[in-house]
Amino acid sequence: MQEKIIVLDFGSQYSQLIARRVRECHVYSQILPYSTPASAIAAERPRGIILSGGPASVYAERAPKCDPAIFDLGIPVLGICYGLQLTIHTLGGEITRGKAREYGKATLKLRKTSPLFSGLPEELEVWMSHGDKVSKMPEGGFDILGSSDNTEYCAVQMHGREIYGLQFHPEVVHTPRGKEILANFCLKICRCAGNWTMSSFVDTAVREIRAKVGRANVILGLSGGVDSSVAAALIHKAIGRQLHCIFVNNGLLRKNEAQRVRDLFGRTFNMKLVYVDAEERFLAKLAGVTEPEKKRKIIGNEFVRVFDDAAAQITDAEFLAQGTTYPDVIESVPVDGNPAAMIKSHHNVGGLPKEMKFKLLEPLNRLFKDEVRELGRELGLPEDVVMRQPFPGPGLAVRHLGALKKETLDILRNADEIVVDEIKKAGLYHKIWQSFAVFLPLCSVGVMGDERSYDYCIALRIVESTDGMTADWVDLPKSLLSRISSRITNEVAGVNRVVYDVTSKPPATIEWE
């Protein structure tokens, strides 16, 4: 059985980060809701359990509590922030509410040697973010491993037991040696071997896919984005030509995108690729439509029809593969005041019908995005594919205001290619969340040589973000903006003006529609 650490989620915005840090130590981690019964946790046979932080107070009326029996499973436990407070509260100590609010940097001074801090200096910079704090330890049971100026019980261990607690957050980058603390917990205290790597993941996933699929055929909707590309490469490695990829050109793709996908997957990888040129079909349905939601609906519905038609041509297809990733499947924890509960993907890619007759194959559903990229590299996908910026399902339709026409979509495609090219040349493409052009169906007056022009306008949307839920525009150097602007007005016929979108999200969204 795969060795693993369970992260019990009490509604912290950092639960996923904890799980990722554990995986960075080459130990597989799995996030479960705080209410998971101890028996169900034991059935997973984890090497250790980490209790996350959370927005609640242990004394709140609806405070999330774990099954107290987890402390008797004989499995090491590490409570972080709320996780520490809950541990202490459950085992008979006391927590002071409110008054002890502490946010930001603090210095942890170690008072007792412990494997948790093995290899670390006696003073460590740590990051605090808590309102309550432990005021009294359970009777006779706990040792103080370290304290900060404001928090005596900053790092503690239950006497003679492998139950630990930290008031600070080791998972955030503001605790510079935090990853080593988590590594010590996983490797030294939980005695994990730390052999979970991408190549071991590939071996296991290939075995599992083969066992699940048998001799059946699998269909996958390839979009050219990171997730579907990596899923295709992985499944192809497992079952070769039993995989049938369907790539729909909806006329809303970036410049040369269709050719790129056909070259890479069809030729280089030699996959079975059904290419459906549905440009005319989509543009006909969209003709004259200006209302953003209506456009999205038409595109979604048409995609399902086109995909269905293409899938019907593939015989013996039993499975539909999707590039669903771990954040899409983690159950969000309904804790009062929990922002994580609201941060759920509001856009689910593809929009395939729920009632499809296929069984689902989702081989990436245990991986975080960075891991999907790493897996892509492991499988030989080019950097250009694995590091691709997000591209919305409805494609250029949400970046082209007003009614869609082939001619103006081409203007957008040409301008967009210049934006991406210049951002890449400046070495910024991988550092930026998204960088693209937006077509505005507005004409304004310009002058070129002695001639007056009356042409369209292109907006640049270049934003930083960590998850797409909030974003800020990037303060690009003037020289780069000037270069993009002059290239677009010189090279793209029909455009005489370029503007830079300096709005954050909120109040604006990243895409313009």
Task: Point out the residues that are catalytic.
Answer: 81, 169, 171
Determine the interface stretch with ligand XMP among 69-77, 83-91, 135-143, 391-399 (rule: CB under 6 A): 391-399
Determine the interface stretch with ligand XMP among 6-14, 185-193, 392-400, 480-488 (rule: CB under 6 A): 392-400
Place of tokens 């008797």: 72
> How far apart are the C-alpha atoms of 70 and 73, rounded to whole Å?
5
CB of 509 to ligand XMP, least distance (A): 3
Binding to ligand XMP by residue 395, rule CB under 6 A?
A: no
Residues 398-417 that bind ligand XMP (CB under 6 A): 398
Determine the interface stretch with ligand XMP among 136-144, 320-328, 369-377, 386-394 (rule: CB under 6 A): 386-394
Q: Copy the structure tokens of residue 400.
A: 């082209």
CB of 228 to ligand XMP, least distance (A): 11
Q: Copy the structure tokens of residue 408.
A: 């103006």
- List 132, 201, 468, 476, residue binding ligand XMP (CB under 6 A): 468
CB of 300 to ligand XMP, least distance (A): 8
- List 27, 258, 349, 404, residue binding ligand XMP (CB under 6 A): 349
**What values do phi and psi take at 121, rounded to 5?**
-70, 170
**Beta carbon nearer to ligand XMP, 159 or 347:** 347
**Beta carbon nearer to ligand XMP, 347 or 452:** 347
Determine the interface stretch with ligand XMP among 78-86, 147-155, 331-339, 388-396 (rule: CB under 6 A): 388-396
CB of 227 to ligand XMP, least distance (A): 10
**Beta carbon nearer to ligand XMP, 96 or 470:** 470
Binding to ligand XMP by residue 250, rule CB under 6 A?
A: no
| Residue 152 neighbours by CB distance under 10 Å | 16
Residues in contact with ligand XMP, counted by CB under 6 A, come to a total of 13
Binding to ligand XMP by residue 394, rule CB under 6 A?
A: yes
Residue 138 bridge partners (DSSP): none
* Residue ranges in 44-100 assigned as alpha helix (H): 82-90
For residue 138, say if its preceding peptide bond is cis, omega within 30 degrees of 0.
no
Determine the interface stretch with ligand XMP among 127-135, 251-259, 317-325, 393-401 (rule: CB under 6 A): 393-401
Q: Copy the structure tokens of residue 263.
A: 């070259």
CB of 348 to ligand XMP, least distance (A): 7
- List 392, 416, 419, 473, residue binding ligand XMP (CB under 6 A): 392
Residue 440 bridge partners (DSSP): 457
Q: Checking DSSP bridges between strand 451-464 and strand 163-166, what pairing results, if any? A: unpaired
Binding to ligand XMP by residue 292, rule CB under 6 A?
A: no
Helix, strand, coil % (nearest 5) of the chain? 35, 25, 40
CB of 483 to ligand XMP, least distance (A): 24
**Beta carbon nearer to ligand XMP, 171 or 511:** 511
**Beta carbon nearer to ligand XMP, 100 or 508:** 508
Q: Which amino acid is at 417?
A: E
**Angle formed by the axes of helices 478-491 and 406-425, to 10°?**
150
**Beta carbon nearer to ligand XMP, 401 or 510:** 510
**Contact criterion met (CB below 8 Å) for 81 and 8:** no
Q: CA separation (Å) from 286 to 26, 247, 279, 303?
A: 48, 20, 11, 12
CB of 130 to ligand XMP, least distance (A): 31
Binding to ligand XMP by residue 347, rule CB under 6 A?
A: yes
- By CB atoms closer than 10 A (0-12, 13-18, 19+), residue 380 is exposed
> How far apart are the C-alpha atoms of 308 and 296, rounded to whole Å?
18
**Contact criterion met (CB below 8 Å) for 242 and 215:** yes
**Contact criterion met (CB below 8 Å) for 244 and 220:** yes
**Beta carbon nearer to ligand XMP, 99 or 346:** 346
- Identify the CA nearest to 50 among candidates 61, 27, 60, 59: 27
Binding to ligand XMP by residue 509, rule CB under 6 A?
A: yes
**Contact criterion met (CB below 8 Å) for 408 and 400:** yes
For 400, which DSSP code?
B
- List 151, 434, 485, 489, residue binding ligand XMP (CB under 6 A): 434
Binding to ligand XMP by residue 65, rule CB under 6 A?
A: no
**Beta carbon nearer to ligand XMP, 398 or 495:** 398
Binding to ligand XMP by residue 281, rule CB under 6 A?
A: no
**Beta carbon nearer to ligand XMP, 178 or 225:** 225
- List 390, 402, 446, 494, residue binding ligand XMP (CB under 6 A): 390
CA 330 to centroid of chain Cα atoms = 11
**Beta carbon nearer to ligand XMP, 2 or 13:** 13
**Contact criterion met (CB below 8 Å) for 125 and 105:** yes
Q: What angle do CA 354, 357, 360 make, to 5 degrees?
A: 70
CB of 308 to ligand XMP, least distance (A): 19
- Identify the CA nearest to 395 among candidates 283, 284, 500: 283
- List 67, 171, 422, 511, residue binding ligand XMP (CB under 6 A): 511
- List 393, 440, 474, 496, residue binding ligand XMP (CB under 6 A): 393
Q: CA separation (Å) from 453 to 229, 410, 490?
A: 43, 19, 13
Residues forming contacts to ligand XMP in the complex (CB under 6 A) are: 347, 349, 390, 392-394, 398, 434, 468, 505, 509-511
